[in-house]
Amino acid sequence: MSKRTEKVGIVGKYGTRYGSSIRKQMKKIEISQHSKYFCSFCGKKTIKRKSVGIWFCKGCKRDIAGGAWCLNTQAAITARGTVRRLRELTK
């Protein structure tokens, strides 16, 4: 049995609708939201998306708040770095 979608992958379900540029953006988003992420609490790659902004780790059974499509948003990464830098300055 051969693959049905060689180039388009997960967005093959949309067929020829919506245009190629939008489907390429959707492909990137859908791949990131369905992939597994590394858990900083238990050290396993078991975090999956539960619903919009809620992520669940099967390893340590924790619910984690994050971004809508990916676990860490760019704003969260920037804020975490700023807090770490300020914490080091106070020591």
Write out pLDDT tens, residues 24-75.
Answer: 999 999 999 999 999 999 999 999 999 999 999 999 999 999 999 999 999 9
Reported confidence tier of residue 5, pLDDT bands at 50, 70, 90:
confident
Closest by CA position to 49, among listed 29, 64, 60: 64
Contact 46, 40 (CB under 8 A): no
Check: pTM over 0.75? Answer yes or no. yes
Longest dimension (CA), the chain: 62
The pLDDT confidence band at residue 83, using thresholds 50, 70 and 90, is very high
Q: Is the pLDDT of residue 6 over 70?
A: yes
Contacts of 76 (CB under 8 A, 6+ apart): 66, 67
